[in-house]
Structure 1
Amino acid sequence: MSTQNVAERAVIREARPEDDAAIGELLVEAFITQYAKKLPEVVYTDERKRELRDVAARRKVATILVAEVDGEVVGTVALFPPGAPGSEAWLPNSADLRGLATAVRFHGTGLAKPLLDAAEDLARKWGVDAICLHVRKGAEGVGRLYMKRGFVREPVGDMDLPSVFLTAYVKPLK
């Protein structure tokens, strides 16, 4: 599959149960390879890989979108509605965006754009005030990607977890 015009050829749709395995592997591959390059100290445990692969559990509480090109799932993003179990949104009436990933061979082709466009459109349909998200500390390039889309750094939403520090970003929709 050519990487030319992949973003224009992508069909964005809601994930179905038969997509779960492909989404899980896509997440593991994208997170491991990209964080390994940019943040070599990040180690993905078997437990974390199991969590990434448990797409069925996330579909119960979030809307998972996929980018499909020529019948293959090559990108994904999840959007948790306000108050959903597991949501990390810190603002009231806000969606939580997570798990943006594209197939490694399509990094840099603009495939994230239609996924994020669709997630933002969905959040607007839900009538939320904002979209919240977190980025692993040290992944400045990821933060810049979101800032180019209108997200702003919001330290009040930072999460200092036992295994990771997550920096917070928000995009007001109203």
Structure 2
Amino acid sequence: MSTQDVVGRAVIREIRPEDDVAVGELLVEAFTTQYAKKLPEVVYTEERKRELRDVAARRKIASLLVAELDGEVVGTVALFPPGAPGSEAWLPRAADLRGLATAVKMHGSGLARPLLDAAEALARRWDMDAVCLHVRRGAVGVARMYMSRGYVREPEGDMNLPTVFLEAYVLRLK
């Protein structure tokens, strides 16, 4: 299946409650598989996997979008409004983009592009000044993908957590 075929046929829509299980499993599979290949030192604990699977809780505080292809959920992304619980945006009037993932079988298909297009369009509808996000230090390919879309590195938003260092990026909308 060509990249154009996937991107052209994928439907990006708001998540529905019946998508929660599929999205949770997609997140666990995508993150554990990608990090295992590119950052083998990263270990996903059972607690972290439970957090990823708790899509219903995120759906209450953030806007979640899914990519659907032939009736199957094959991608997702979340956008947290300013001040939402769990938001990591460090700028006022900025949405926090989190949890971009595609099904492992879809990696390299270009499916991230329409998911990000939809999330960024949503931030514009919310009249946000920017979209903030974090990338795990060492995930060079992920950072490069965001920078190719116009996100810029903004170290003042970095997060040095007990188990991970997250590098901050921002897309200015205004």
Query: Paired residue for 1:172?
Result: 172
**Secondary structure, counterpart of 2:171 in structure 1:** strand
- Does the alignment pair 1:60 with 2:26? no
Over aligned residues, Cα RMSD in angstroms?
Answer: 0.8
Query: Paired residue for 1:131?
Result: 131
TM-score by length of 1: 0.98
**Secondary structure, counterpart of 2:168 in structure 1:** strand
Query: Paired residue for 2:86?
Result: 86
Aligned AA for 2:69? Answer: V
**Secondary structure, counterpart of 1:96 in structure 2:** strand
1:51-73 per-residue CA deviation (whole Å, 9 max, x = no partner) reads 00000000000000000000000
- Following superposition of structure 1 onto structure 2, how do residues 142-153 of structure 1 map, counting pairs within 5 Å? 142-153=142-153
1:61-99 per-residue CA deviation (whole Å, 9 max, x = no partner) reads 000000000000000000001111110000000000000
Query: Does the Cα contact within 8 Å between 1:3 and 1:106 map onto a contact in 2?
Result: no
Query: Paired residue for 1:109?
Result: 109
Identity %: 78
- Does the alignment pair 1:41 with 2:49? no
Distance 1:121 1:75 in 2: 17
Aligned residues: 173
Aligned AA for 1:149? Answer: R
Query: Paired residue for 1:22?
Result: 22
Query: Does the Cα contact within 8 Å between 1:133 and 1:169 map onto a contact in 2?
Result: yes
Structure 2: 5+ residue stretches without partners: none
Structure 1: 5+ residue stretches without partners: none
**Secondary structure, counterpart of 2:65 in structure 1:** strand
| Displaced runs of 4 or more, over 4 A | none
- Please state how far the C-alpha of 1:3 moved relative to its aligned partner: 5.5
- Please state how far the C-alpha of 1:135 moved relative to its aligned partner: 0.4
Aligned AA for 2:116? Answer: L
